[in-house]
């Protein structure tokens, strides 16, 4: 009996001290561990990487009160509670971007880490499952490899064939671990023993190559044998191929180069390094030509079977030459890799009036076509890509301008041959097939969708199928144009990182996908290519020889870091980009001069506004000086906030004092005493009202002018600058009726008009295809241009009502303020924040709105409704249990404070449902 009592006491103590969760309710756990926004990243070079995690719990009002991190060099050490370092219990609610403060990191070092947390009920979680991060080469002097290139390359004048390299080597010891660190001048694909290494494409990515060149890290521990061979193909890519319109080719250089370092740790404690040097051999191969704009030519008759296998006879290959190129520009990959994301099957074969054989993929997409083909040796197959068919149903490529967008394949003697390109991509829905003599089998063709590997984070759907298609088009426009950098379009001879497009779309982009790492990488190139006087280039990376300084375009230097800070709670990006942000505002200050008006410089203005390039209507042309001065004020106000956040007191005072001077100058120059703007356009009013430039006593009058202009035309007249602000500005002045009218309009110009014309992505122009079926000017008529998709921000933040709180960035606290209108009967929307999933759903039930929301653990929200009293609202949890709530009611707005959990609110409707 006494022994049993002892056992009971032991069990009780074990439960009480070791498993307090069991006694105190639902257990909590920690999951989704990230390092620098990435899952188990290889080869990072951050000296103090940031760690993030999410708390998993179904409980209401759960908050983290403390955390502890521990690290080790193996999972076994963690398993047996023998960590190398522990942070100790840190009293903090921070679970996003927690800076690593452990021992100094060494090059090529893997760190395993775990975290556990305590909550506001004094419970602790178990240790999380281990995650890891691994450093790359942290110091340039650790690069033992030499740059190599081909010897005595013939001047191809822009038409060089890709280069094939190989190196065979033997290993005689048991391997503990093996890593490849590799980069190139040009694009590379790396092979080991006949297999492609990794699943990334278009490596090493596109950066400002002369200042920042990424390398990639690959774990090949399980891929090595006693006898081995590397194979590498190099192609011109962005480095030496045609890109932009300043030079015909070779913008960054005339010679391709390869740099590779294999580091092996053996189980006996010894190490070995195998590097690029002159012992590597090179040759030509079956890829005769490769160009991003024009496509590839592949001659299968020249294939070298097993060319990257150890036993291949390379006696006729030549030894490579050394290339003098610096290594101090090398950086670890920090963005998101480009990968194959999805396979898409053609929906039908079309035989056009001209007799062309055309595949319809059913979706405007980016990538290429993989195909299986049969024929005679020497037969030539040509695959050409296009976005649309013309009015008669024929294949249309005029809007591609000089881009040939063609893959050419020459058959060998094999009975069945499979092919997909290596170093090119296309924007297309339709594919024309030439040279196929046999009947076309639709199952022989597969579309390969490629883009940066962004994690989807947002969704929006509603009762209107056309708006759902609009959201679909916005998503696809982003996917198709986020290929290592945010391009303007993916199909014609451009595909550049236009800054204006990215600036206006940045918040929508961050709702749809996790773009934190993507934008962080690109922002560094914004700063790298910025001119010494602070001018920001039009495209990034800059291949237009320093052209830039255009208002709303160059303000990307301010807006992108600010967006990443607001959405992801990332203070570090503000620190790293601050000098760039400051330089841009200082540049504008210099250009504006003592009167604080930025005038007379060249700008793109409200690009492609309705009627701006038509002879029959000039009313939508907004004065460029007005736009420039408005953005001068807007960016200055943001910079002032950033300086305050970073505790830069002197700068904060400087820009806080500058902003009202710009506003005063703007008001005196561009706003009459009756509230009318000198440019009487929707864009002018949207800028002035949304940026806070209109004096308080004139806001109502200016708002009336805007509303009346929308009523007068019955449609939007805005371009790239005004469109992203229009609906939010109308909602902000209490004209939801007009905002929803613009959203649901189906005639040209509108967001839904392209959908009625069959669009599956966002168009560059409101009327890329005119109502009569003819096309707009082919010089500038992309059918995959995401900028007008910035309406997505309003759908998420206003219609669904998910609003960031700038005082608590990263959705640590946020607002939920949904709005009914447009004849919609329900909306379902959500966003995967750094803390977890946020949901905001509403549906109409007779004269009430049923609103359900989810607030993730360790965050909180304020739910807001206009003209409402708390007595009219009921709040329950997801099971229907009434919930005690804290609320306030000021100026007719009901604000309900909610902690984490799932809630259902029953609310009376007090609006006109015809809005």
In tens, the pLDDT along 446-498 reads 999 999 999 999 999 999 999 999 999 999 999 999 999 999 999 999 999 99
Note the pLDDT of residue 151: 86
Q: In what order do the strands lie in the sheet with 187-192?
A: 195-196, 187-192, 227-235, 163-170, 281-283, 318-319
d(CA 781, CA 804): 35
886 pLDDT band, cuts 50/70/90, is confident
Rounded to an integer, what distance in angstroms lies between the CA atom of residue 83 and that of residue 76? 9
The pLDDT value recorded for residue 1 is 42
Coil, strand or helix at 749: coil
pLDDT at 431 over 90: yes
Q: Of these residues, 36, 494, 832, 839, which one is catalytic?
A: 494
CA 382 to chain centre: 33
- Encode pLDDT of 191-244 as tens digits: 999 999 999 999 999 999 999 999 999 999 999 999 999 999 999 999 999 998
Closest CA to 427 of 342, 502, 367, 358: 367
Which 3-state string (H, E, C) describes 41-81? CEEECCCCCEEEEEEECCCCCCCEEEEEEEEECCHHHHHCC
Report percent pLDDT > 90 for the chain.
89
**pLDDT, averaged across the chain:** 94
Q: Which residues contact 793 (CB under 8 A, 6 or more apart)?
A: 507, 508, 511, 724, 728
Look at residue 17 in the predicted model and tell me its pLDDT: 40
For residue 117, what is the enclosing H or E element? strand 110-119
pLDDT of residue 26: 58
Contact 69, 113 (CB under 8 A): yes
Task: Decide: helix, strand or coil at residue 227.
Answer: strand
Helix boundaries (H) for 569-648: 571-592, 624-645
* Backbone angle region of 295, left / alpha / beta, with phi > 0 → left and psi within -120 to 50 → alpha: left
Average pLDDT over residues 694-713: 98
Q: Which residue in 59, 387, 764, 793 is the catalytic one?
A: 764
Phi-psi region of 654 (alpha: psi -120 to 50; beta: other; left: phi over 0): alpha
Confidence of residue 617 (pLDDT cuts 50, 70, 90): very low
* Mean pLDDT confidence for 412-428: 94
How far separated are the first and last CA of the chain, in Å rounded?
77
Average the pLDDT over 894-899 and give the result: 94
Check if 494 is active-site.
yes
pLDDT tens-digit profile of 18-63? Answer: 444 444 455 899 999 999 999 999 999 999 999 999 999 999 999 9
pLDDT at 10 over 90: no
What string of H, E and C letters represents the secondary structure of 310-343? Answer: CCCCCCCCEECEECCCCCCCEEECCCCCEEEEEE
Closest CA to 238 of 282, 189, 205: 205
Nearest-angstrom CA–CA distance, 588 and 632: 6
pLDDT tens, residue by residue, 513-544: 999 999 999 999 999 999 999 999 999 999 99
Strand partners for 537: 548
DSSP designation for 681: S
Of 216, 205, 231, 249, residue with least CA distance to 423: 205
DSSP codes joined into one string, 152-186: S----TT-PPPEEEEEEEE--S-EEEEEEEEEEES
Q: In the structure, what pLDDT confidence band is assigned to residue 909 with cuts at 50, 70 and 90?
A: confident
Residue 914 pLDDT > 50, yes or no?
Answer: no
How many Å apart are CA 593 and CA 874, to the nearest integer?
A: 56
Task: Identify the H or E element spanning 469.
Answer: helix 465-481
Average pLDDT over residues 147-153: 92
Contact present, 411 and 381 (Cβ < 8 Å): yes
User: Residue 914, Cα to own-chain centre: how many angstroms?
Assistant: 36
Confidence band, pLDDT 50/70/90 cuts, at residue 869:
confident
Local structure of 302: helix, strand or coil: helix
Q: Alpha-carbon distance 803 to 491, whole Å?
A: 34
Name which of 777, 786, 761, 772 is nearest 398 in CA terms. Answer: 777
The answer to whether 696 and 704 have CB atoms below 8 angstroms apart is no
pLDDT, mean of residues 721-733: 98
Contact 472/835 with Cβ under 8 angstroms? no
- Average pLDDT in the 647-659 region? 98
Cβ(902)–Cβ(878) below 8 Å: yes
DSSP state of 130: P
HEC readout, 527-590: HHHCCCCCCCECECCCCCCCCECCCCCCCHHHHHHHHHHHHHCCHHHHHHHHHHHHHHHHHHHH
Q: Is 836 left (phi over 0), alpha (psi -120 to 50) or beta?
A: left
Give the span between the Cα atoms of 283 and 293, in whole angstroms: 25
Q: Residue 701: its pLDDT value, please?
A: 98
Q: How far apart are CA 175 and CA 172, in angstroms?
A: 9
Q: How far apart are CA 632 and CA 663, in angstroms?
A: 9
Verify whether residue 764 is a known catalytic residue: yes
Q: Which two tokens stand for residue 451?
A: 């883009």
Instruction: Please say if the pLDDT value at position 867 is more than 90.
Output: no
pLDDT of residue 195: 98
Please state, in angstroms and as integers, the Cα–Cα distance from residue 119 to each residue in 56, 252, 299, 688, 834, following that order: 11, 53, 63, 45, 18
SS (H, E, C) 2-51: HHHHHHHHHHHHHHHHHCHHHHHCCCCEEEEEEECCECCCEEECCCCCEE
| Three-state DSSP class for residue 368 | strand
Q: Which residue carries 């993030």 as its tokens?
A: 52
- Band (616; pLDDT cuts 50, 70, 90): very low
815: burial class by Cβ within 10 Å (0-12, 13-18, 19+)?
A: middle
620 band by pLDDT with thresholds 50, 70 and 90: low
How far is Cα 257 from Cα 330, in angstroms, rounded to an integer?
A: 13
Per-residue DSSP letter, 700? H
Predicted pLDDT at 614: 43
3-state class of 880 per DSSP?
coil
- What's the rounded mean pLDDT across residues 755-781? 97
- How confident is the model over 395-414, as a mean pLDDT? 96
């Amino acid at each position: 009996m006494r022994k049993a009592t002892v056992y009971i006491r032991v069990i009780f103590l074990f439960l009480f001290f070791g498993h307090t969760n069991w006694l105190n309710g639902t257990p909590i756990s920690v999951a989704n561990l990230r390092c620098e926004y990435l899952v188990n990243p290889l080869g990072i070079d951050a000296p103090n990487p940031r760690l993030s995690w999410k708390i998993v719990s179904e409980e209401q009002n759960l908050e983290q009160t403390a955390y502890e991190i521990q690290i080790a060099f193996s999972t076994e050490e963690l398993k047996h509670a023998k960590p190398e370092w522990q942070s100790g219990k840190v009293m903090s609610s921070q679970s996003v971007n927690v800076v690593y403060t452990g021992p100094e990191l060494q090059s090529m070092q893997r760190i395993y880490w775990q975290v556990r947390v305590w909550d506001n009920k004094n419970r602790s979680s178990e240790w999380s499952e281990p995650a890891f991060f691994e450093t790359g080469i942290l110091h340039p002097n650790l690069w033992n490899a030499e740059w190599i290139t081909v010897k005595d390359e013939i001047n191809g004048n822009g038409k060089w064939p890709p280069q094939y390299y190989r190196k065979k080597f033997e290993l005689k010891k048991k391997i503990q671990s093996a890593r490849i660190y590799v980069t190139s001048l040009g694009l590379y694909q790396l092979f080991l023993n006949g297999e492609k290494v990794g699943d990334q494409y278009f490596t090493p990515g596109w950066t400002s190559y002369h200042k920042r060149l990424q390398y990639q890290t690959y774990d090949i521990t399980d891929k090595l044998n006693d006898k081995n061979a590397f194979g590498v193909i190099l192609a011109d890519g962005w480095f030496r191929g045609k890109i932009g319109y300043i030079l015909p080719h070779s913008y960054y250089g005339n010679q391709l180069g390869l740099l590779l370092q294999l580091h092996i740790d053996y189980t006996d404690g010894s190490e070995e390094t195998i590097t690029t040097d002159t012992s590597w051999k090179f040759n030509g191969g079956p890829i005769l030509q490769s160009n991003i704009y024009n496509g590839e030519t592949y001659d299968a008759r020249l294939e070298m079977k097993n060319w990257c296998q150890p036993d291949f006879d390379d006696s006729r290959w030549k030894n490579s030459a050394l290339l003098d190129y610096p290594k101090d520009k090398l950086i670890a990959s920090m963005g998101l890799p480009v990968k194959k994301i999805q396979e898409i099957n053609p929906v039908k074969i079309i035989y056009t009036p001209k007799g062309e054989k055309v595949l319809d993929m059913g979706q405007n997409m980016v990538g290429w076509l993989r195909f299986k083909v049969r024929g005679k040796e020497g037969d030539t197959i040509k695959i050409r890509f296009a976005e649309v068919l013309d009015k008669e149903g024929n294949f249309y490529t005029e809007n591609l301008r000089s881009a040939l967008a063609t893959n050419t394949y020459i058959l060998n003697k094999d009975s069945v041959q499979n092919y997909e390109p290596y170093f090119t991509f296309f924007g297309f829905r339709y594919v024309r097939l030439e040279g196929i003599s046999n009947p076309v089998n639709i199952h022989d063709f597969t579309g390969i969708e490629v883009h940066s590997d962004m994690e989807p984070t947002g969704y929006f759907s509603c009762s209107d199928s056309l708006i759902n298609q609009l959201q679909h088009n916005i998503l696809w426009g982003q996917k198709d144009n986020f290929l290592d950098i945010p391009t303007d379009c993916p199909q014609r001879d451009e595909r550049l990182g236009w800054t204006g497009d990215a600036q206006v779309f940045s918040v929508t982009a961050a709702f749809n996908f996790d773009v934190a790492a993507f934008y962080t990488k690109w922002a560094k190139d914004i700063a790298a290519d910025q001119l010494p006087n602070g001018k920001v280039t039009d495209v990034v990376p800059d291949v237009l020889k320093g052209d830039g300084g255009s208002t709303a375009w160059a303000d990307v230097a301010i807006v992108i870091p600010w967006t990443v800070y607001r959405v992801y709670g990332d203070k570090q990006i503000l620190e790293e980009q601050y000098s760039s942000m400051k330089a841009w505002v200082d540049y504008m200050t210099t250009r504006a001069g003592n009167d604080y008006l930025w005038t007379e410089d060249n700008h793109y203005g409200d690009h492609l506004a309705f009627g701006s390039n038509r002879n029959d209507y000039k009313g939508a042309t907004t004065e460029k000086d007005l736009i420039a001065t408005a953005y001068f004020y807007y960016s200055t106000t943001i910079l002032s906030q950033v300086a305050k956040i970073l505790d830069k007191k002197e700068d904060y005072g400087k820009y806080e004092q500058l902003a009202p001077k710009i506003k005063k100058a703007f008001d005196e120059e561009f706003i009459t005493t009756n509230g009318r703007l000198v440019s009487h356009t929707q864009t002018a009013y949207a800028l002035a009202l949304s940026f806070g430039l209109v004096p308080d006593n004139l806001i109502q009058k200016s708002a009336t002018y805007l509303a009346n202009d929308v009523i007068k035309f019955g449609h939007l007249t805005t371009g790239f600058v005004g469109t992203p602000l229009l609906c939010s500005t109308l909602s902000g002045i209490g004209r939801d009726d007009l905002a929803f009218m613009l959203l649901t309009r189906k005639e040209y110009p509108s967001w839904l008009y392209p959908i009625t014309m069959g669009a599956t992505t966002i168009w560059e122009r409101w009327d890329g295809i005119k109502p009569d079926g003819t096309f707009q000017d082919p010089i500038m008529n992309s059918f995959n241009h995401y900028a007008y998709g910035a309406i997505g921000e309003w759908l998420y933040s206003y219609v669904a009502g998910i609003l960031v709180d700038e005082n608590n960035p990263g959705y640590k606290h946020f607002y939920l303020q949904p709005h009914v209108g447009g004849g919609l009967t329900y909306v379902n929307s959500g966003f995967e924040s750094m803390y977890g999933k946020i949901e905001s759903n509403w549906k109409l039930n007779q004269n009430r709105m049923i609103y359900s929301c989810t607030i993730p653990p360790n965050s909180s929200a304020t739910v807001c409704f206009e003209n409402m009293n708390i007595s009219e609202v009921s709040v329950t949890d997801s099971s229907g249990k009434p919930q005690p709530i804290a609320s306030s009611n000021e100026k007719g707005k009901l604000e309900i404070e909610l902690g984490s959990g799932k809630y259902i609110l029953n609310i009376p409707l007090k609006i006109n449902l015809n809005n």
